[in-house]
Structure 1
């Protein structure tokens, strides 16, 4: 089972084919802009420098169809949250890491929310693993909010086993028991019409619903979560490129827009008991993410020294909840 946050997949049976040459570019200009920073010029320069460093790190990974999509989505979320995030303190040997043989590559970056913001952290993770049964690429984006709001977290993960097969997980992770909080269900999931995005995606002949073998994993998703497997068939790289660009890109853009408009940087007055319950729920989800996948599987791919460094940085972000 590969190391990732919210899905358990068997090792891929297909070897990684030569990468496609088409570059995919997804425009996310329709997202709501972040509040204007105090020093716009300096903030823009810092963000541009961070973006350059991110693209430099990611250039070491295979140029699969989903890479540019994830880069654009991460950049859009980073731009939205940037005024509310602290600079990254992740050490260089966790920003980029590999196993001794070079068969597994990884990159992890985490930015914590500033003390006055409602952002807990933003995490991006890139993994490329050459396994005996084939190659696997996993890219994860998490944007978690803290106890000053009950708005959902944002989660997006793409798992690609070949240029023509991938799994997409995309959701606004609920932080309340939806049957007990009808207004929460209405505000974030019904009124936003997110389920239309899932329905349109699942109508494609190459797309089928994906069901995690873990009942626990399924239990934390919302009713409008996108959890799909895309299989275009051997030799259909161009079809996959079109689906990633036109369909997955459109769905991802809408989910990020809704989260940016309705959830990011929001605040809400809550009873102390309600806040405590929500924080406990958040903490359990974080702990399970480490327990189920990371601690068990990273050592197999990267060895104990590298995996310990990576898990320690994630635990630091997950454990310092506000």
Structure 2
């Protein structure tokens, strides 16, 4: 979750030329902008971007959030979730210097955005988090887009997780899952209710059929243990000259799988409340907290400061900790 590592290079695979429809975009807090123009947030130019745009004469122009296909997919799915959840999501209260942030005091090589909407009282929603990161590296750039919708303790239904990690113009790692909140081996009825009856595994099978796809495995054994058996954890590599093919796959098969998974989650999980014994609920809450804390420890505290510097990283991590409901380490 919230992976900040560059995906490992994948082996080259043959590409296919198929036409897929383009998803209509919705603006994220940070978006592609014209040279010299300010990024818009809620109709206003943010102070963070205004400050970062005022580079000294002759200085290198600050990095901007580039538009890539998987961000369009994430925006479309976020819009779908917001439309369905409606008043169950509170307005975002993320401060401007976290909603949009960049490295190097505004002139660095990394730029990011974060939006968190908490669940309304009485709903099953804990929070919905959207984030985008773009970082220039010596051999190119890394672009990461995340959409997480986590539920609270009124239900044991799985969380929704989607992340795209693009390390080159021709390759991407995709993480899609209904993130389980119980030990699946101890609760076969949980597998049946949320994974077998919903036929969610069909989406993984479809993505696996792509000739450019191969399994992706996190270096962290703990991270691997948190996913379900039906998770889509794939590395897509289209080989040299495969930029167009990758974009088609992202807008086509990956967008279709992500939308189907989100629809299953909205229909089968988002509105589900669970009768649980107190001990069972306490165990679930403990599991949730461990997963959230470890996610921040493994992925954020070790990597975000290197990308954005300690001051920016501290602000962003603090806001994510607040959303996750975990104490600062």
- The equivalent position to 2:2 in structure 1, one of 2, 5, 14, is 5
1:174 is displaced (CA, Å) by 0.5
TM-score if structure 2 supplies the norm length? 0.82
82, 92, 104: which one pairs with 2:96? 92
2:304: which partner in 1?
298
Describe the superposition over 1:1-55 as per-residue Cα deviations: whole angstroms up to 9, x where unpaired.
xxx6257545779xxxxxxxx996337xxxxxxxxxxxxxxxxxxxxxxx96x43
Quote the Cα distance in structure 2 between the aligned partners of 1:303 and 1:93.
14
> Of residues 306, 310, 315 in structure 2, which corresponds to 1:309?
315
1:220 deviation in Å?
0.5
CA distance in 2, matches of 1:299, 1:131: 15
- Structure 1 residue 134, shift from structure 2 partner: 2.3
Q: Say which SS state the counterpart of residue 58 (structure 1) adopts.
A: coil
Q: Do structure 1's residue 283 and structure 2's residue 256 form an aligned pair? A: no
Q: How does 1:181-196 map to 2 (within 5 A)?
A: 181-196=187-202
Of 133, 136, 151, the residue aligned with 1:130 is 136
Written as runs of structure 1 = structure 2, the 5 A alignment for 1:86-235 is: 86-100=90-104, 101-235=107-241
Residue 37 of structure 2 is matched in structure 1 by none
Between 58-67 and 214-223, the greater mean CA deviation after superposition: 58-67
Alpha-carbon separation, structure 2, partners of 1:199 and 1:11 = 22
Moved more, 75-84 or 176-185: 75-84
Rounded to whole Å, the distance in 2 between the matches of 1:311 and 1:320 is 11
Cα distance, 1:316 vs. partner? Answer: 0.9
Q: Which residue of 2 aligns with 1:252?
A: 258
1:261 and 2:267 are equivalent in the alignment: yes
Hey, what's the Cα distance between the residues in 2 that align with 1:183 and 1:242?
A: 38
Aligned Cα root-mean-square deviation (Å): 2.2
Identify the match of residue 67 of structure 1 among 71, 74, 77: 71
Structure 1 portions without partners, runs of 5+: 14-21, 28-50
Q: Deviations over 1:295-320 (max 9, x none)?
A: 11111111111111101111111117
What do the CA deviations read for 1:124-179 (whole angstroms, capped 9, x no partner)?
A: 11000001232100001110000000000000000011221000000000111111
CA contact (8 A) 1:8 1:212 kept: no
Where structure 2 has 5 or more consecutive residues not aligned to the other structure, the ranges are 11-18, 33-63
